Amino acid sequence: MKVNGDAQEEVTGREWPRPTAPPSPVAAGLSAPADVETWKARKAYPSTLFAGGPVFGVARELPEGGWTLRPGFAGLAPQDARDALGAHFRARAERCAADGDETGRAQYTEAAERLDWECLDELTVAGARYRVVRAERFIRMGPDGPEPPRGTDPDRTDPAQPPLDPAADLTIASGGEAGLSPGVLRVELLTALRKNGTVPRDVREDSRAAARTHPGGVLLPATFMAAEREGGRWRPQSTGTAATPRDARDGLAVQLRVMVPWQHELTDEEHEFYKRAADHLDTDQVDELDVAGRHFRIIRVERLIRIGPDGPEGPRPSDVDPVPPAMVQERQLREQGPVQDEEDGDAEASTRKFMALLDEERRRREHLRERP
pLDDT of residue 356: 74
Helix (H, G, I), strand (E, B) or coil at 311: strand
For residue 68, pLDDT over 60 is answered with yes
Q: How far apart are CA 239 and CA 14, in angstroms?
A: 20
pLDDT of residue 29: 40
**pLDDT interval class at 226 (50, 70, 90):** very high
112 touches 93 (CB < 8 A): yes
Res 279 pLDDT > 70: yes
Task: Tell me what percent of the residues of the chain surpass a pLDDT of 90.
Answer: 46
DSSP class per residue in 137-186: EEEEEETTEE----TTS---SSTTSPP--TTTTPEE-TT---SHHHHHHH
Q: How many C-beta atoms surround the C-beta of residue 170 within 10 A?
A: 18
* 6, amino acid identity: D
Residue with the bigger pLDDT between 112 and 362: it is 112
Reduce the DSSP state of residue 340 to 3 states and report it: coil
- Which of 209, 263, 197, 191 shows the shortest CA–CA distance to 17? 191
| pLDDT given for residue 341 in this prediction | 55
Q: What is the pLDDT of residue 317?
A: 97
d(CA 234, CA 299): 11
Cα angle for residues 225, 220, 288 (degrees, 5° grid): 25
Q: What is the mean pLDDT of residues 335-341?
A: 69
For the cut 90, the answer to whether the pLDDT of residue 352 exceeds it is: no
Among residues 313, 305, 302, which one has the least CA distance to residue 48?
Answer: 302
Distances (CA, A) of 42 to 64, 80, 147, 220: 35, 33, 10, 17
Residue 295 CB contacts under 8 Å (≥ 6 apart), including other chains: 228, 229, 288, 289
Q: How far from 84 is each of 37, 87, 166, CA to CA, in Å?
A: 33, 5, 18
pLDDT category at 321 given cuts 50, 70, 90 is: very high
Q: For 131-150, what is the mean pLDDT?
A: 95
Q: How far apart are CA 234 and CA 146, in angstroms?
A: 8
DSSP symbols for 269-287: HHHHHHHHHHHHHHHH--S
pLDDT at 263 over 90: no
- What pLDDT does 17 receive? 32
- The Cα–Cα gap between 117 and 78 comes to 14
Which of 264-273, 299-308, 344-353 comes out lowest in average pLDDT?
Answer: 344-353
- Which of the four pLDDT bands, split at 50, 70 and 90, describes residue 174? low
Angle ∠(127,78,75) on CA atoms, nearest 5: 100
C-alpha pair distances (Å), 365 with each of 72, 240, 368: 22, 21, 5
Confidence at 198, pLDDT banded by 50, 70, 90: confident
